[in-house]
């Protein structure tokens, strides 16, 4: 799972995060009730599998779009404490949940933006990496985020099998961008 690199402190933070996520999920529907028993393998595992990819890319400033329950941003932040994270979440209750996680888990160099990406003022100079899970179709997502990327920026997203197949067509419509369908990684 690519998680052997995590310290005991990081694992403790992940455990606290998952416990708080389970508690809050009952109140504000962060994770479906049927997914709660498999949260570590289904959601956390997927986020931790991104760590080697994120580590191999410029990751000084990472923007997570549609942060919701905190995946993949919170596990990535715990695994990559030196990176600065911006979590963009349009729903107020979920943004408040993310702020509580940051406070309770003791994370620093991370901020929550309670706004839609289309309305956010952005970050001067752009960000190095944008992560997203189930936000929009890849073409639409690239439209939403391309102005926020630095010239060397990347977009990393998890893709369903159907979406990955659709990306072959998208590859030919992206100007001046490199593309990898295997990882759902755009540059």
| Digit-coded pLDDT (tens) for 122-151 | 876 789 999 987 666 767 777 888 888 888
In a domain, 2, yes or no: no
- DSSP H or E stretch at residue 23: helix 8-28
In a domain, 155, yes or no: yes
In a domain, 3, yes or no: no
Across all residues in the chain, what is the average pLDDT? 82
The half-sphere exposure of 135 on its side-chain side, counting CA atoms within 13 A, is 30
Pick 1 or 50 by higher pLDDT.
50
Beta carbons within 8 Å of 23's beta carbon, 6+ residues apart: none
Number of domains in the chain: 1
pTM: 0.83
In a domain, 37, yes or no: yes
pLDDT of residue 178: 47
Partnered with residue 49 across adjacent β-strands are: none
In a domain, 80, yes or no: yes
pLDDT at 187 over 80: no
Strands 185-186 and 127-133, by their bridges, are unpaired
In a domain, 1, yes or no: no
Q: How many CB atoms lie within 10 A of CB 38?
A: 12
Pick 172 or 78 by higher pLDDT.
78
What DSSP line would sit under 128-184, residue for residue? Answer: EEEEEESSS-HHHHHHHHGGGEEEEEEEEEE--HHHHHHHHHHHTT-TT--EETTTT
Residue 70: φ, ψ to 5°: 100, 5
**Domain of 129: which CATH number?**
3.40.50.150
pLDDT at 180 over 70: no
Model confidence band, residue 182 (pLDDT cutoffs 50, 70, 90): very low
pLDDT at 176 over 50: no
- Domain encompassing residue 144: 8-186
Strands 110-113 and 84-88, by their bridges, are parallel
Any idea what DSSP says for residue 13?
H
> Which of 20-29, 98-107, 154-163 comes out lowest in average pLDDT?
154-163
pLDDT digits (tens, 9 = 90+) for 34-93: 777 778 777 888 889 889 999 999 889 999 999 999 999 999 999 999 999 999 999 999
In a domain, 69, yes or no: yes
């Amino acid at each position: 799972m690519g998680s052997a690199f995590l310290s005991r402190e990081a694992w403790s933070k992940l455990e606290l995060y998952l416990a708080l996520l389970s508690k809050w999920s009952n109140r504000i529907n962060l994770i479906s009730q049927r997914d709660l028993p498999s949260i570590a393998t289904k959601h956390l595992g997927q986020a931790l599998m991104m760590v080697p990819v994120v580590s191999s890319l410029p990751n000084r400033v990472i923007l997570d779009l549609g942060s919701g329950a905190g995946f993949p941003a919170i596990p990535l932040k715990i695994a990559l404490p030196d990176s600065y994270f911006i979590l963009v979440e349009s729903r107020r209750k979920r943004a408040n949940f993310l702020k509580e996680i940051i406070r309770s888990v003791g994370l620093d160099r991370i901020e929550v933006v309670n706004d839609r990406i289309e309305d956010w003022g952005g970050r001067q100079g752009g960000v190095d990496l944008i992560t997203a899970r189930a936000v929009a179709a890849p073409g639409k997502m690239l439209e939403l985020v391309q102005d926020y990327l630095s010239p060397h920026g990347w977009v990393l997203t998890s893709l369903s099998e159907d979406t990955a197949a659709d990306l072959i067509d998208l590859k030919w419509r992206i100007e001046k961008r490199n593309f990898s369908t295997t990882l759902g990684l755009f540059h």
